[in-house]
Amino acid sequence: MIELKSPSQLERMREAGRIVAKVIEMLKKEVRPGITTAELDEMAGEKIRQEGGKPAFKGYRGFPGNICASVNEEVVHGIPSRRKLKEGDIVGLDVGATVEGYFGDAAVTVAVGQISQEAADLMAVTQAALAEGIAFARPGNRLSDISHAVQRTVESRGYSVVRDFVGHGIGTELHEPPQIPNYGKPGFGPVLKEGMVLAIEPMVNQGGAAVEVLADGWTAVTKDRKLSAHFEHTVAVTESGPEILTRI
C-alpha cells in the first residue's frame, strides 16, 4: 500500500524537506580539502536540531552517523569518520531529518576543490538523471516511468545505474512503499496519484553497476573501485506535477 498524504501531512513534510535542504546547502559550502567527514557530520547534526528537527539516520538500524558521507568509489551509506577530504575527491552527502514524525531525505555529490573532468561529468549525468526521473512524478504516470527515465539518461551516456539500492516512498517512515528502482521498462507498477511522496535517488557508476558492502556493514563501494555519484530529492506528486520538497 502506498500511503497518500493529505494536505496537512504534506505541509509537515515540506517542513522536514526544508530542513534537509538547508543542511545540504550549508554542507556544500563547508566541503573543502582537509575537512573530515566527521566534522561535516557534526555540523549537520547541529544544524538539523537548530532548525527544529532530528537527524533521521542516527541509530537507524544502528547507523552511527547523522548523515552518510560517501567518498569517490563509495556509492552510499559511508560512515562519517576522521578521513580528511582531499583535493579532487567527490563526496556524496545524504541527509535525512524528521519533524513531528515526518521525514525528509535528500543527497548531493559535491566536488572537493578542483576535480577531474571525468568526475564532473559523472556528477552532471547523475544530477540530470534525477531531474529526468522527477519530471515523470505526475498523476497518471506509472512508477516505472520514473525508473526508466533515470536508466535511459544514465546508460545513453555510457554510465551504469546501481541496482542493489533503490529509491523509496517516504512519510511517517524513512522508507515506505513503493521501492523505486533506477532501471526498468516504462509503463509498469502502480499508477502515480496525488499525495504520493517519493524519494528518488539515482546512484550512478563510472564503470560497472556491481557494488559490494565493506566489512563495516554499511559502506557500499563499486566492485571495480571506479567512481560513483548519488543525488536524491523527496518529491510530492501533486495535481500540478512534481513538487520537490527538498529543493536546495
Q: With respect to Mg ion, which residue has the nearer C-beta, 90 or 95?
A: 95
CB of 170 to Mg ion, least distance (A): 7
**Binding of Mg ion at residue 162 (CB under 5 A)?**
no
Task: Tell which positions 199-238 bind Mg ion, by CB under 5 A.
Answer: 199
CB of 168 to Mg ion, least distance (A): 6
Provide the Cα torsion 6, 10, 11, 16; round to 10°. 150
Task: Tell which positions 109-138 bind Mg ion, by CB under 5 A.
Answer: none
**Binding of Mg ion at residue 243 (CB under 5 A)?**
no
**Binding of Mg ion at residue 41 (CB under 5 A)?**
no
Peptide bond into 177 cis (omega under 30): no
Q: Which stretch binds Mg ion (CB under 5 A): 13-21, 97-105, 210-218, 220-228?
A: 97-105
Q: Is 95 helix (H, G, I), strand (E, B) or coil?
A: strand
Q: Which stretch binds Mg ion (CB under 5 A): 35-43, 177-185, 195-203, 216-224?
A: 195-203
CB of 103 to Mg ion, least distance (A): 9
CB of 234 to Mg ion, least distance (A): 8
Q: Is 88 helix (H, G, I), strand (E, B) or coil?
A: coil
Paired residues of 55 in beta bridges: 97
CB of 232 to Mg ion, least distance (A): 5
Contact 52, 20 (CB under 8 A): no
Give me the sign of the Cα torsion angle 76, 196, 14, 127.
positive
Q: With respect to Mg ion, which residue has the nearer C-beta, 61 or 82?
A: 61
CB of 145 to Mg ion, least distance (A): 19
Q: Which of 95, 70, 85 is nearest to 18 (CA)?
A: 95
Q: With respect to Mg ion, which residue has the nearer C-beta, 74 or 105?
A: 105
CB of 116 to Mg ion, least distance (A): 27
**Binding of Mg ion at residue 105 (CB under 5 A)?**
yes
Helix then strand then coil, in percent of the chain rounded to 5, is 30, 30, 40
**Binding of Mg ion at residue 108 (CB under 5 A)?**
no
Number of CB atoms found within 10 A of residue 39's CB: 15
**Binding of Mg ion at residue 93 (CB under 5 A)?**
no
Q: With respect to Mg ion, which residue has the nearer C-beta, 23 or 199?
A: 199
Distance CA 107, CA 188 (A): 26
Number of CB atoms found within 10 A of residue 193's CB: 12
Number of residues in contact with Mg ion under rule CB under 5 A: 2
Question: Hey, what's the cell of 194?
Answer: 496525488
Contact 243, 236 (CB under 8 A): yes
Crossing angle, helix 37-50 and helix 7-30, to 10 degrees?
140
The contact set with Mg ion (CB under 5 A) reads 105, 199
